[in-house]
Amino acid sequence: DIRMTQSPSSVSASVGDRVTITCRASQDVNNFLAWYQQKPGKAPKLLIYIVSSLQSGVPPRFSGSGSGTDFTLTISSLQPEDFATYYCHQTNNFPYTFGQGTKVEI
Amino acid sequence: QVQLVQSESELKTPGASVKVSCKASGYPFTSYGIMWVRQAPGQGLEWMGWINTNTGKPTYAQGFSGRFVFSLDISVRTSFLEMSSLRTEDTAVYFCATDSAMEGVDVWGQGTTVIVSS
């Protein structure tokens, strides 16, 4: 199984801050890497797919980068609605796997 | 409107069974596989497995074979997750979603809460 390790597990930030979350895969995922945002009581929402493609309707302050086994989600200027938990997700191999999540807190 | 609509929350006693449904609309049902994701209280997302909507063949993550069964009824565009011999640790929200993220298609059910308690 491909293990996805996110860091940090949580981050405290303020509105306007730049926030970076990293995700490391235990083996190459061939760019089949997505990022999700989840708010309490809601289903996850796709932000980024294929490492850096911005999902339709997602603000451009969100961006993704990386390759191979190391990936990054960046929020360039944190907005109040961005306080949530973020997950990376690989779909290169079964079983698909998620990172453990990064909670972005005020 | 592309959507997945799941069945309502369930309260079960240990040892019971439950069947969660996930009805698709707004897209060709066999275009995407359906994956199931579990989220225990206060925990992260856990990929349970996937079912091929063309063949009906399921793939289970480790720890989700045996008591967990994925199935389809293509005639009503519905996927099912059946769980048997329920344990208190099965208490969670169960989500279905299309396996289409890497095509930029994001479709999730609203989640079904299953509570297992005596």
Residues 6-65 of A with CB under 8 A from B: 32, 34, 36, 38, 43-46, 49-50, 53, 55-56
Residue of A nearest to B60 (CA): A95
Nearest to A20 by CA among A69, A77, A60, A58: A77
The band of B99, judged by pLDDT with boundaries at 50, 70 and 90, is: very high
Question: Which residues are registered as beta bridge partners of A89?
Answer: A34, A98
Instruction: Give the distance from residue B113's alpha carbon to the nearest chain A alpha carbon, in angstroms.
Output: 10
> What's the whole-number mean pLDDT along residues A6-27?
97
Residues in chain B: 118
In tens, the pLDDT along B32-70 reads: 999 999 999 999 999 999 999 999 999 999 999 899 999
CA distance A86 to A13: 14
CA distance A97 to A86: 14
Is residue B3 within 8 Å of residue B106, measured between CB atoms? no
pLDDT given for residue B8 in this prediction? 98
**B2 at the A interface (CB within 8 A)?**
no
> What's the whole-number mean pLDDT along residues A25-35?
97
pLDDT given for residue B54 in this prediction? 95
Yes or no, beta carbons of A43 and B46 under 8 Å apart? no
Intra-chain end-to-end CA distance of chain A, in Å: 34
pLDDT given for residue B65 in this prediction? 87
Residues of chain B contacting A1 with CB distance shorter than 8 Å: 62
**Of the partner residues A50, A55, A101, the one whose CB lies closest to the CB of residue B44:** A101
Residue of A nearest to B49 (CA): A95
> What's the whole-number mean pLDDT along residues A69-76?
98
The band of A106, judged by pLDDT with boundaries at 50, 70 and 90, is: confident
Residue B104 above 90 pLDDT?
no
> What's the whole-number mean pLDDT along residues A83-106?
96
CA distance B104 to A89: 14
